[in-house]
Chains A and B, each alone.
Chain A
Amino acid sequence: MPTGMVFTEEQEELRRTLRRFCESRSPSVEVRRLMQTTDGYNPQVWQQMASQLGLQGLAIPERYGGAGLGYIELAIALEEMGRALFCAPYFATVAMAANALVSSEDDDACAMYLPSIATGETIATLALAEDSGRWDEDGVSLTAQQSGSTWLLDGHKSFVVDGAIAHLLVVVAGTGSGVSLFAVEGEASGLTRTPLPTLDQTRKLARLEFARTPARLIGAEGAAGPGLSRTLDLTAIALAAEEVGGAQRCLDMSVDYAKVRYQFGRPIGSFQAIKHKCADMLLQVESARSAAQYAAQAVADGSPEVPAVASLAKATCSDAYFFAAAENIQIHGGIGFTWDHDAQLYFKRAKSSQLFLGDTAYHREHLAQRLGI
């Protein structure tokens, strides 16, 4: 059982730094500018994140050029980015691709790709789901065939986060002897990348088509299952942290507005109907925070609880975020459902995050299985 779950001074400082960074680099006006672009990020800011703050390499082991810090630090970074709807390929590169590489336990592949991820040169992502929208190995129909010293991929992937801009795609494919991971260059031959028009414009998705696309095998053929399962747990925990940040921001927006918005001659926050809504949001946000923080700690401690806690945190934090984002609109009334108010951005992110990586029912079923029920 994880103990000593109190943030260190260094972790608190990291949070303050990230809060300031996101507030200065990612105010609402910048989020709205970037979400209208195809690439969806600012390359200069991306480089600052790596060179000034070392964010891309935060949780990458030191032998691969990272800072070798733990998952708690990564969770803090993601929480702050979620709070600001920070537009960057950070989740795809760090929470998805880097975790997939480390979990593959392929030292050569890690040595080849992780250092340039840590420096911010390489934007990467994990391509797992296909048109069927399943984030598990059973949903994989894309195939790989060996051809001399290389492999050729045929099929498609979809819902690939930042898939249109990634320099490196970590692709899950079947070879007849189970699933394997492959590294594909963003500009590889036979690869067609189509940006998808997303409900949530702040997180870019792409559909990828592979036609005899050359790829490098990561790990042993047909042996990617356990590493992929681990990756999905780590990614779910990362998403949970991001969701807590967004949910907290929704609660903050609601409380701030309820104090200054007057109707019937009094602030609406003095009405019990609004108070109780805000209290409901706090209950959800605080319970989500406990789940996400415990999950990050479980990863840091190498706890065997990780698979169960990952699904627990994903389900809890997704539902909390959606609840908070929906109530935030309701508390804001008419202004809350306008395009110009940010409540809609959080609402779209919340629903998209809830459905991404498997919905709440999927993760509750996962949890039930992992408890042996």
Chain B
Amino acid sequence: MQSPVGAAIIVHGTDEQRAHFLQRIADGTDVYCQGFAEPDHGSDLAGVETRGEVDADELVITGHKVWTSGADQANAIYVLCRTDANAPRYHNLSYVLLPLHENNIELRPLRVMSGASGYFEVLFDGARAPLSNVIGGLGNGWRVAMTTLEFERVGQSMARVLEYEREFWELVETARCYGRHQDPLVRQQLAWAYAQIQILRYSDLIQASQPRTWIDTFANEYHRRFGEIAVDILGADALVRPAQPEGYVPSGWQEVFLSSRADTITTGTREIQRTIIAERMLGLPAEP
């Protein structure tokens, strides 16, 4: 089961919550999207300002989430919200599951630089969920959110290597078609790219049980660079999009080039990842 919210429910939910929500996820009744980041809180996720107010046996959500993918396919959303105005940071948040439809929730497609609309803004104006939908209890949302993010990262790894390999050999073919495979610089770049993919594969074999933060950021940075190499091989042809009557639809390699800029941002920016690596893996002191 590749469900980050499912993992969070397994780890932090009550028996009743596990019985109720996991079954609905497993049989496809509920499809979740994520409500974590906000316009003012990306890397600083713990500072989210979406409010959750207790009203009798319900939680009432008001606020603005962004970077929610798959909201058009979902019927439910897990939200990190602030439920205590006075508690200290990391202890003032709750993690709640909400029905997405007919619940005072508005979805607005968010168009990214590739022209696609894979993300949504989600606006909550008094959306409601029973308190029994709060996972981990009021005030414990941060831990539950961390479990969700960890699981989200782990789920990606093996499929990622296969996809990168497929993409790599396709680029080799493209280079051949353009006659660029004889260019010494292109050959260096392709060999470098191949080496990065293999290192990812080796690392999955060798370091499966070790902290993976470095592998994920390594992969994301590789893929961003790969996108650049791809359009460089196309040369002047990368200047022009395929003919389309309307809209902005890039070619395959243009799409990789444009969308891979998100790779070093969406699951935690590469800078945040470096701070995590330095503090957790190398034991360097936190910011004062």
Contact = CB atoms under 8 A, between A and B. Distances in A.
Nearest to B205: A5
Interface string B184-227: 10011011101110110011011100000011011000000000
A282 B194 contact: no
Contacts, number: 119
A246 interface: no
B275 A373 contact: no
Per DSSP, chain B at the interface is: helix
Interface stretch (B24-32, B51-59, B278-286): B278-286
Interface string A331-372: 000000000000000000000000000000100110110010
Contact of A287 (B172, B188, B218, B282): B218
B286 A270 contact: yes
Interface string A109-137: 00000000000000000000000000000
B214 A291 contact: no
Contact of A316 (B175, B181, B187, B199): B199
Contacts of B274: 272, 275-276, 279-280
Interface string B245-288: 00000000000000000000000000101110111011111111
A260 to B, nearest CB: 10
A209 interface: no
Most buried by A among B175, B281, B282: B282
A267 B199 contact: no
Q: Which of B172, B202, B215, B277 has the most CB of A within 10 A?
A: B202
Given A272-B275, A276-B278, A373-B172, A286 B207 contact: yes
* Residue among B215, B271, B274, B287 having the largest count of chain A Cβ atoms under 10 Å: B274
Contacts of A282: 214, 277, 281-282
Nearest to B209: A6
A286 B282 CA distance: 12
A309 B214 CA distance: 22
Chain A contact residues: over half helix, strand or loop, or mixed?
Answer: helix
A278 B285 CA distance: 12
Interface string A301-341: 00000000100100110000000000000000000000000
Contact of A283 (B172, B190, B217, B283): B217
Given A282-B282, A290-B199, A270 B288 contact: yes
B284 A259 contact: yes
Contacts of A251: 282
A373 B191 contact: yes
A279 B191 contact: no
B285 A259 contact: yes
B284 A290 contact: no
A255 interface: yes
A104 interface: no
Contacts of B194: 312, 367, 371
B116 to A, nearest CB: 29
A278 B281 CA distance: 10
Contacts of A315: 191, 195
Interface in A249-269: 251, 255, 258-259, 266-267, 269
Contact of A361 (B188, B202, B217, B283): B188
- Which 6 A/B pairs are nearest by Cβ-Cβ distance? A275-B278, A279-B274, A364-B191, A294-B202, A269-B284, A279-B277
22 contacts: A1-B205, A258-B284, A259-B284, A267-B285, A270-B287, A270-B288, A278-B278, A279-B277, A283-B217, A283-B218, A283-B277, A286-B207, A286-B218, A287-B196, A287-B199, A291-B195, A312-B195, A364-B188, A367-B194, A371-B194, A373-B175, A373-B191
Given A290-B202, A364-B192, 12 more contacts: A267-B284, A272-B271, A282-B281, A286-B203, A286-B218, A287-B199, A290-B203, A293-B202, A293-B206, A294-B205, A365-B191, A373-B190
Interface of B: 172, 175, 181, 184, 187-188, 190-192, 194-196, 198-199, 202-203, 205-207, 214-215, 217-218, 271, 273-275, 277-279, 281-288
